[in-house]
Amino acid sequence: MSAPELTVERVELLRLSMPLRLPFRTSFGTQTHRDVVLARVDCGGVEGWGELVAGSGPWYSEETVGSALVLLREHIVPLMVGASFSHPSAVARLLAPIRGNHMAKATVETACWDAWALAGGESLAHVIGGVRDRVPTGVSVGIQDSVAQLLDLIERHLAEGYARIKVKVEPGWDVEPLAAIRERFGDIPLMADANSAYRLNDASRLQQLDGFDLTMVEQPLAHDDIADHAVLARQLATPICLDESLHSAALTRHALDLGACAIVNVKIGRLGGHDESRAVHRLCVERRVPVWCGGMLETGVGRLHNLAIASLPGFTLPGDTSASKRYWEADIIDPPVTLAADGTVAVPGAGGIVSRLDRDRLSALVDGRESFS
Protein backbone atom coordinates (compact mmCIF):
# COMPACT_ATOMS: atom_id res chain seq x y z
CA MET A 1 0.00 0.00 0.00
CA SER A 2 0.99 3.64 -0.22
CA ALA A 3 2.52 4.94 2.98
CA PRO A 4 0.71 8.15 3.86
CA GLU A 5 2.56 10.65 6.00
CA LEU A 6 0.33 11.93 8.77
CA THR A 7 0.73 14.87 11.13
CA VAL A 8 -1.04 14.82 14.48
CA GLU A 9 -2.89 18.15 14.58
CA ARG A 10 -4.96 17.55 17.67
CA VAL A 11 -5.53 14.92 20.35
CA GLU A 12 -8.80 14.74 22.21
CA LEU A 13 -9.42 12.73 25.37
CA LEU A 14 -13.03 11.79 26.04
CA ARG A 15 -14.24 10.41 29.36
CA LEU A 16 -17.30 8.28 29.92
CA SER A 17 -18.60 5.76 32.43
CA MET A 18 -20.28 2.57 31.24
CA PRO A 19 -22.18 0.18 33.54
CA LEU A 20 -21.46 -3.52 32.92
CA ARG A 21 -24.53 -5.71 32.38
CA LEU A 22 -23.29 -8.01 35.14
CA PRO A 23 -20.72 -7.36 37.87
CA PHE A 24 -17.40 -9.02 36.95
CA ARG A 25 -15.62 -10.63 39.90
CA THR A 26 -12.01 -11.76 39.76
CA SER A 27 -9.52 -12.69 42.48
CA PHE A 28 -8.55 -8.99 42.67
CA GLY A 29 -12.03 -7.51 43.05
CA THR A 30 -15.46 -6.87 41.58
CA GLN A 31 -16.04 -4.48 38.71
CA THR A 32 -19.52 -3.04 38.14
CA HIS A 33 -18.70 -0.43 35.49
CA ARG A 34 -15.82 0.90 33.45
CA ASP A 35 -14.38 4.41 33.61
CA VAL A 36 -13.43 4.75 29.97
CA VAL A 37 -11.04 7.18 28.33
CA LEU A 38 -11.05 7.34 24.55
CA ALA A 39 -8.42 9.11 22.47
CA ARG A 40 -9.29 10.75 19.20
CA VAL A 41 -6.19 11.59 17.16
CA ASP A 42 -6.95 14.16 14.50
CA CYS A 43 -4.49 13.98 11.63
CA GLY A 44 -6.14 16.59 9.39
CA GLY A 45 -8.59 14.79 7.16
CA VAL A 46 -8.36 11.45 8.94
CA GLU A 47 -8.90 10.58 12.57
CA GLY A 48 -8.02 7.54 14.63
CA TRP A 49 -9.53 6.19 17.83
CA GLY A 50 -8.02 4.33 20.77
CA GLU A 51 -9.18 3.23 24.22
CA LEU A 52 -7.44 3.30 27.59
CA VAL A 53 -7.88 -0.13 29.17
CA ALA A 54 -6.57 0.71 32.68
CA GLY A 55 -8.85 -0.04 35.60
CA SER A 56 -10.26 2.55 38.00
CA GLY A 57 -7.79 1.30 40.64
CA PRO A 58 -4.36 -0.41 40.54
CA TRP A 59 -5.71 -3.94 41.01
CA TYR A 60 -4.83 -5.63 37.73
CA SER A 61 -1.69 -3.56 37.17
CA GLU A 62 -0.07 -0.41 38.56
CA GLU A 63 -1.79 1.82 36.03
CA THR A 64 -5.14 3.47 36.73
CA VAL A 65 -7.44 5.77 34.79
CA GLY A 66 -6.16 8.64 36.94
CA SER A 67 -2.47 7.84 36.52
CA ALA A 68 -2.90 7.37 32.78
CA LEU A 69 -4.66 10.72 32.42
CA VAL A 70 -1.72 12.44 34.14
CA LEU A 71 0.76 10.70 31.85
CA LEU A 72 -1.32 11.47 28.79
CA ARG A 73 -1.73 15.17 29.64
CA GLU A 74 1.76 15.86 30.90
CA HIS A 75 4.00 13.58 28.88
CA ILE A 76 2.42 11.55 26.09
CA VAL A 77 0.11 13.97 24.29
CA PRO A 78 2.71 16.81 24.30
CA LEU A 79 5.10 14.49 22.41
CA MET A 80 2.37 13.61 19.93
CA VAL A 81 0.89 16.99 19.01
CA GLY A 82 2.63 18.29 15.89
CA ALA A 83 4.49 15.01 15.31
CA SER A 84 4.55 13.52 11.81
CA PHE A 85 4.91 9.85 10.97
CA SER A 86 5.00 7.88 7.74
CA HIS A 87 4.57 4.59 9.61
CA PRO A 88 2.96 4.06 13.04
CA SER A 89 6.08 2.27 14.32
CA ALA A 90 7.54 5.77 14.52
CA VAL A 91 4.92 6.61 17.15
CA ALA A 92 6.09 3.73 19.34
CA ARG A 93 9.67 5.02 18.94
CA LEU A 94 8.58 8.56 19.81
CA LEU A 95 6.98 7.30 23.03
CA ALA A 96 9.82 4.91 23.92
CA PRO A 97 11.62 7.35 26.28
CA ILE A 98 8.56 7.20 28.59
CA ARG A 99 9.09 4.22 30.85
CA GLY A 100 6.22 1.93 31.77
CA ASN A 101 2.73 3.42 31.54
CA HIS A 102 1.98 1.08 28.66
CA MET A 103 -1.78 1.41 28.81
CA ALA A 104 -1.54 5.20 28.68
CA LYS A 105 0.78 5.02 25.67
CA ALA A 106 -1.30 2.39 23.88
CA THR A 107 -4.33 4.70 24.02
CA VAL A 108 -2.78 7.05 21.45
CA GLU A 109 -0.46 4.56 19.71
CA THR A 110 -3.41 2.40 18.69
CA ALA A 111 -5.34 5.49 17.57
CA CYS A 112 -2.44 6.40 15.24
CA TRP A 113 -2.52 2.91 13.66
CA ASP A 114 -6.25 3.31 13.11
CA ALA A 115 -5.77 6.73 11.46
CA TRP A 116 -2.90 5.46 9.30
CA ALA A 117 -4.85 2.44 8.05
CA LEU A 118 -7.76 4.72 7.22
CA ALA A 119 -5.52 7.18 5.36
CA GLY A 120 -4.13 4.31 3.27
CA GLY A 121 -7.60 2.94 2.51
CA GLU A 122 -6.81 -0.35 4.24
CA SER A 123 -8.26 -2.17 7.22
CA LEU A 124 -6.41 -1.92 10.54
CA ALA A 125 -6.21 -5.72 10.61
CA HIS A 126 -4.49 -5.78 7.20
CA VAL A 127 -1.88 -3.16 8.04
CA ILE A 128 -0.87 -4.86 11.29
CA GLY A 129 -0.51 -8.23 9.55
CA GLY A 130 -3.89 -9.89 9.99
CA VAL A 131 -4.77 -12.80 7.74
CA ARG A 132 -8.30 -13.82 8.83
CA ASP A 133 -11.64 -12.10 8.59
CA ARG A 134 -13.21 -14.01 11.48
CA VAL A 135 -11.63 -15.12 14.75
CA PRO A 136 -12.65 -17.85 17.21
CA THR A 137 -13.85 -16.34 20.46
CA GLY A 138 -14.18 -17.49 24.03
CA VAL A 139 -15.76 -15.93 27.08
CA SER A 140 -14.31 -15.08 30.48
CA VAL A 141 -16.68 -15.97 33.32
CA GLY A 142 -16.24 -14.25 36.68
CA ILE A 143 -16.40 -15.76 40.16
CA GLN A 144 -20.05 -16.40 41.10
CA ASP A 145 -21.90 -16.70 44.40
CA SER A 146 -22.57 -20.41 43.84
CA VAL A 147 -21.53 -23.27 41.59
CA ALA A 148 -25.15 -23.56 40.41
CA GLN A 149 -25.06 -19.95 39.20
CA LEU A 150 -21.75 -20.54 37.46
CA LEU A 151 -23.11 -23.60 35.62
CA ASP A 152 -26.20 -21.66 34.50
CA LEU A 153 -24.08 -18.87 33.10
CA ILE A 154 -21.75 -21.28 31.29
CA GLU A 155 -24.72 -23.15 29.86
CA ARG A 156 -26.00 -19.89 28.36
CA HIS A 157 -22.59 -19.00 26.91
CA LEU A 158 -22.20 -22.45 25.36
CA ALA A 159 -25.66 -22.13 23.81
CA GLU A 160 -24.60 -18.77 22.34
CA GLY A 161 -21.72 -20.60 20.66
CA TYR A 162 -18.59 -19.46 22.53
CA ALA A 163 -15.60 -21.53 21.44
CA ARG A 164 -14.10 -21.87 24.92
CA ILE A 165 -14.90 -21.08 28.50
CA LYS A 166 -12.45 -19.33 30.81
CA VAL A 167 -13.31 -19.28 34.49
CA LYS A 168 -11.80 -17.00 37.06
CA VAL A 169 -10.35 -18.94 40.00
CA GLU A 170 -8.87 -18.21 43.43
CA PRO A 171 -8.05 -20.41 46.43
CA GLY A 172 -11.41 -21.89 47.51
CA TRP A 173 -13.05 -21.29 44.10
CA ASP A 174 -11.07 -23.65 41.92
CA VAL A 175 -11.31 -27.44 42.32
CA GLU A 176 -15.03 -27.54 43.12
CA PRO A 177 -16.31 -25.33 40.27
CA LEU A 178 -13.95 -26.93 37.72
CA ALA A 179 -15.03 -30.44 38.75
CA ALA A 180 -18.69 -29.38 38.44
CA ILE A 181 -18.07 -27.90 34.95
CA ARG A 182 -16.39 -31.08 33.72
CA GLU A 183 -19.14 -33.21 35.17
CA ARG A 184 -21.93 -31.14 33.61
CA PHE A 185 -20.43 -30.15 30.24
CA GLY A 186 -17.89 -32.90 29.46
CA ASP A 187 -14.77 -32.08 27.50
CA ILE A 188 -15.53 -28.49 26.40
CA PRO A 189 -12.47 -26.29 25.78
CA LEU A 190 -11.83 -24.96 29.30
CA MET A 191 -9.19 -22.85 31.03
CA ALA A 192 -8.75 -21.02 34.33
CA ASP A 193 -7.42 -17.53 35.13
CA ALA A 194 -6.13 -16.88 38.67
CA ASN A 195 -5.04 -13.24 38.26
CA SER A 196 -2.12 -13.85 40.67
CA ALA A 197 -4.18 -15.37 43.49
CA TYR A 198 -1.71 -18.16 44.39
CA ARG A 199 1.82 -18.44 45.80
CA LEU A 200 4.49 -20.98 44.99
CA ASN A 201 3.67 -22.93 48.16
CA ASP A 202 0.14 -23.47 46.82
CA ALA A 203 1.67 -25.80 44.20
CA SER A 204 -0.09 -28.88 45.57
CA ARG A 205 -3.47 -27.11 45.30
CA LEU A 206 -2.67 -26.12 41.71
CA GLN A 207 -1.60 -29.71 40.95
CA GLN A 208 -5.19 -30.72 41.66
CA LEU A 209 -6.19 -28.72 38.56
CA ASP A 210 -4.13 -31.12 36.44
CA GLY A 211 -7.03 -33.55 36.67
CA PHE A 212 -9.30 -31.25 34.66
CA ASP A 213 -7.43 -31.23 31.34
CA LEU A 214 -7.41 -27.42 31.14
CA THR A 215 -5.96 -25.82 28.00
CA MET A 216 -3.98 -23.59 30.36
CA VAL A 217 -3.92 -21.89 33.72
CA GLU A 218 -3.42 -18.15 33.35
CA GLN A 219 -1.21 -16.10 35.71
CA PRO A 220 -1.36 -18.29 38.84
CA LEU A 221 1.44 -16.41 40.69
CA ALA A 222 2.43 -12.79 41.37
CA HIS A 223 1.69 -10.07 38.81
CA ASP A 224 5.38 -9.15 38.54
CA ASP A 225 6.85 -12.64 38.71
CA ILE A 226 8.50 -14.76 36.05
CA ALA A 227 10.99 -16.88 38.05
CA ASP A 228 8.52 -18.59 40.39
CA HIS A 229 6.26 -19.37 37.43
CA ALA A 230 9.22 -21.23 35.89
CA VAL A 231 9.56 -23.28 39.08
CA LEU A 232 5.81 -23.95 39.21
CA ALA A 233 5.68 -24.92 35.52
CA ARG A 234 7.96 -27.89 36.28
CA GLN A 235 5.48 -29.10 38.91
CA LEU A 236 2.33 -28.84 36.78
CA ALA A 237 1.08 -30.82 33.79
CA THR A 238 -1.29 -27.95 32.87
CA PRO A 239 0.44 -25.39 30.60
CA ILE A 240 0.94 -21.97 32.18
CA CYS A 241 -0.08 -18.84 30.28
CA LEU A 242 1.24 -15.48 31.44
CA ASP A 243 -0.82 -12.31 31.32
CA GLU A 244 0.04 -9.69 34.01
CA SER A 245 3.82 -10.41 34.00
CA LEU A 246 4.46 -9.78 30.32
CA HIS A 247 4.96 -6.11 29.42
CA SER A 248 7.21 -6.40 26.37
CA ALA A 249 8.62 -8.75 23.77
CA ALA A 250 11.88 -8.87 25.76
CA LEU A 251 10.12 -9.99 28.94
CA THR A 252 8.16 -12.53 26.91
CA ARG A 253 11.47 -13.89 25.58
CA HIS A 254 12.85 -14.14 29.12
CA ALA A 255 9.71 -15.97 30.28
CA LEU A 256 9.93 -18.44 27.39
CA ASP A 257 13.69 -18.97 27.87
CA LEU A 258 13.10 -19.75 31.55
CA GLY A 259 10.15 -22.05 30.85
CA ALA A 260 7.80 -19.80 32.87
CA CYS A 261 5.00 -20.16 30.33
CA ALA A 262 4.08 -22.22 27.28
CA ILE A 263 1.28 -19.92 26.07
CA VAL A 264 1.15 -16.12 25.84
CA ASN A 265 -1.78 -13.75 26.41
CA VAL A 266 -1.42 -10.65 24.24
CA LYS A 267 -3.14 -7.52 25.54
CA ILE A 268 -2.42 -4.46 23.46
CA GLY A 269 -2.72 -2.09 26.43
CA ARG A 270 -0.42 -4.08 28.73
CA LEU A 271 2.21 -4.19 25.97
CA GLY A 272 2.00 -0.50 25.06
CA GLY A 273 0.35 -0.76 21.65
CA HIS A 274 0.13 -2.63 18.38
CA ASP A 275 3.84 -2.29 17.62
CA GLU A 276 4.98 -4.22 20.71
CA SER A 277 2.05 -6.65 20.38
CA ARG A 278 3.26 -7.48 16.87
CA ALA A 279 6.79 -8.00 18.24
CA VAL A 280 5.44 -10.45 20.84
CA HIS A 281 3.48 -12.21 18.11
CA ARG A 282 6.59 -12.48 15.88
CA LEU A 283 8.64 -13.94 18.72
CA CYS A 284 5.96 -16.49 19.59
CA VAL A 285 5.50 -17.56 15.97
CA GLU A 286 9.28 -18.08 15.71
CA ARG A 287 9.22 -20.20 18.86
CA ARG A 288 5.99 -22.00 17.93
CA VAL A 289 4.34 -20.71 21.10
CA PRO A 290 0.55 -20.26 20.84
CA VAL A 291 -0.76 -16.76 21.54
CA TRP A 292 -4.27 -15.46 22.06
CA CYS A 293 -5.86 -12.08 22.54
CA GLY A 294 -6.87 -11.19 26.09
CA GLY A 295 -9.47 -8.61 27.02
CA MET A 296 -9.97 -5.80 29.52
CA LEU A 297 -13.77 -5.45 29.28
CA GLU A 298 -13.30 -3.01 26.42
CA THR A 299 -15.97 -0.92 24.77
CA GLY A 300 -16.34 -1.34 21.02
CA VAL A 301 -13.33 0.88 20.34
CA GLY A 302 -10.82 -1.27 22.22
CA ARG A 303 -12.65 -4.39 21.07
CA LEU A 304 -12.12 -3.56 17.37
CA HIS A 305 -8.39 -3.10 18.05
CA ASN A 306 -8.36 -6.49 19.80
CA LEU A 307 -10.13 -8.16 16.90
CA ALA A 308 -7.60 -6.71 14.48
CA ILE A 309 -4.60 -8.11 16.39
CA ALA A 310 -6.42 -11.43 16.92
CA SER A 311 -6.49 -11.88 13.14
CA LEU A 312 -2.70 -12.34 12.94
CA PRO A 313 -1.62 -15.89 12.01
CA GLY A 314 -0.09 -16.89 15.37
CA PHE A 315 -3.31 -16.27 17.29
CA THR A 316 -4.29 -19.92 17.23
CA LEU A 317 -6.36 -20.03 20.43
CA PRO A 318 -9.77 -18.35 20.99
CA GLY A 319 -9.52 -14.84 22.44
CA ASP A 320 -11.43 -12.98 25.16
CA THR A 321 -12.89 -10.99 22.28
CA SER A 322 -16.52 -11.62 23.20
CA ALA A 323 -19.61 -9.97 21.73
CA SER A 324 -20.59 -6.43 22.83
CA LYS A 325 -23.70 -7.74 24.58
CA ARG A 326 -21.67 -9.91 26.93
CA TYR A 327 -20.58 -6.61 28.54
CA TRP A 328 -22.93 -3.78 27.56
CA GLU A 329 -26.62 -3.07 27.27
CA ALA A 330 -25.64 -0.88 24.32
CA ASP A 331 -22.10 -0.55 22.95
CA ILE A 332 -20.68 2.71 21.56
CA ILE A 333 -20.16 1.13 18.14
CA ASP A 334 -22.83 0.35 15.58
CA PRO A 335 -23.12 -2.38 14.49
CA PRO A 336 -21.90 -3.92 17.76
CA VAL A 337 -19.59 -6.94 17.86
CA THR A 338 -21.68 -10.10 17.54
CA LEU A 339 -20.92 -13.80 17.90
CA ALA A 340 -21.85 -16.22 15.14
CA ALA A 341 -23.19 -19.67 15.99
CA ASP A 342 -19.81 -21.16 14.99
CA GLY A 343 -18.10 -19.27 17.84
CA THR A 344 -16.41 -16.65 15.65
CA VAL A 345 -16.51 -12.88 15.55
CA ALA A 346 -15.88 -10.68 12.49
CA VAL A 347 -12.62 -8.77 12.18
CA PRO A 348 -13.30 -5.10 11.32
CA GLY A 349 -12.87 -4.12 7.68
CA ALA A 350 -11.65 -0.90 6.08
CA GLY A 351 -13.09 2.51 6.93
CA GLY A 352 -11.54 3.04 10.34
CA ILE A 353 -13.03 2.82 13.80
CA VAL A 354 -14.59 6.22 13.15
CA SER A 355 -16.98 4.59 10.67
CA ARG A 356 -18.25 2.23 13.39
CA LEU A 357 -18.81 4.82 16.15
CA ASP A 358 -22.34 5.40 17.35
CA ARG A 359 -21.94 9.19 17.55
CA ASP A 360 -25.28 9.83 19.27
CA ARG A 361 -24.73 7.24 21.95
CA LEU A 362 -21.19 8.46 22.47
CA SER A 363 -22.21 12.13 22.84
CA ALA A 364 -24.89 11.12 25.31
CA LEU A 365 -22.33 9.24 27.44
CA VAL A 366 -19.31 11.57 27.30
CA ASP A 367 -19.00 13.61 30.50
CA GLY A 368 -15.57 15.13 29.99
CA ARG A 369 -13.55 16.23 27.01
CA GLU A 370 -10.05 17.70 26.80
CA SER A 371 -8.48 18.91 23.60
CA PHE A 372 -4.77 19.40 22.91
CA SER A 373 -3.39 21.09 19.81
Q: Report the catalytic residues.
A: 168, 267
Burial pattern 242-270, b for ≥16 Cβ within 10 A else e, equals: bbbbbbebebbbbbbeeebbbbbbbbbbb
Element housing 39 (H / E):
strand 29-42
- Candidate list 320, 331, 348, 353; residue touching ligand OSB; CB under 6 A: 320
Number of residues lying near ligand OSB (CB under 6 A)? 11
Nearer to ligand OSB, 119 or 240 (CB): 240
Residue nearest to ligand OSB (CB): 295
**Of Mg ion, ligand OSB, none, which one sits near residue 297, judging by CB under 5 to 8 A according to partner kind?**
ligand OSB
Indicate whether 177 belongs to the interface with ligand OSB (CB under 6 A). Answer: no
- The nearest distance, CB 337 to Mg ion, in angstroms, is 20
- On the question of a cis peptide bond just before residue 335, with omega within 30 degrees of 0, the verdict is yes
DSSP 8-state secondary structure symbol assigned to residue 212:
G
Per-residue binding string, ligand OSB, 58-77, x by CB under 6 A, is --x-----------------
The residue from 243, 276, 298, 331 that contacts Mg ion (CB under 5 A) is 243
DSSP tag of 75: I
Binding partner of 322, given ligand OSB, Mg ion, none, CB within 5-8 angstroms per partner class: ligand OSB
- Which residues from 182-201 bind Mg ion, rule CB under 5 A? 193
Binding of ligand OSB at residue 140 (CB under 6 A)?
yes
Closer to ligand OSB by Cβ: residue 245 or 322: 322
d(CA 331, CA 371): 24
Residue 124 CB, nearest approach to ligand OSB (Å): 19
At residue 242, what is the residue type?
A: L
N-to-C CA span, the chain? 29
Whole-angstrom distance, CA of residue 264 vs CA of residue 270 = 12
DSSP-derived secondary structure for 170-194: BTTBSHHHHHHHHHHH-S--EEEE-
The one among 42, 114, 170, 193 contacting ligand OSB by CB under 6 A: 193
Q: How far is the CB of 24 from ligand OSB (least distance, A)?
A: 7
Residue nearest to Mg ion (CB): 243
CB-CB neighbours of 81 under 10 Å = 15
Dihedral-angle region of residue 31 (phi above 0 means left; psi in -120 to 50 means alpha; beta otherwise): beta
Nearer to Mg ion, 218 or 225 (CB): 218
220 binds ligand OSB (CB under 6 A): no
Selection from ligand OSB, Mg ion, none that 295 binds (CB < 5 to 8 A by kind) is ligand OSB
Q: At what angle do helices 274-286 and 249-258 cross, to 10 degrees?
A: 30
Task: Show the binding pattern over residues 214-233: x = contacts Mg ion (CB under 5 A), - = does not.
Answer: ----x---------------
Site for ligand OSB contains 107 (CB under 6 A): no
Identify residues 34-63 at the interface with ligand OSB (CB under 6 A). 60
Given candidates 101, 123, 195, 344, which one binds ligand OSB under the rule CB under 6 A?
195
The binder of 63, among ligand OSB, Mg ion, none, by C-beta within 5 to 8 A per type, is none
- List phi, psi (to 5°) of 244: -50, -40
For Mg ion, which is the closer residue by CB, 243 or 275? 243
Q: Do the beta carbons of residue 244 and residue 61 sit within 8 Å?
A: yes
Measured between alpha carbons, how far is 347 from 304 in angstroms, rounded to an integer? 7
302 touching ligand OSB, by CB under 6 A: no
Integer Cα distance of 208 and 169 in angstroms = 13
- Sign of the Cα pseudo-torsion (107, 109, 114, 118, in order): positive
Under the rule (CB under 5 A), what is the footprint of Mg ion? Answer: 193, 218, 243
Query: Which spans of this chain sit near ligand OSB (rule: CB under 6 A)?
Result: 60, 140, 193, 195, 243, 294-297, 320, 322
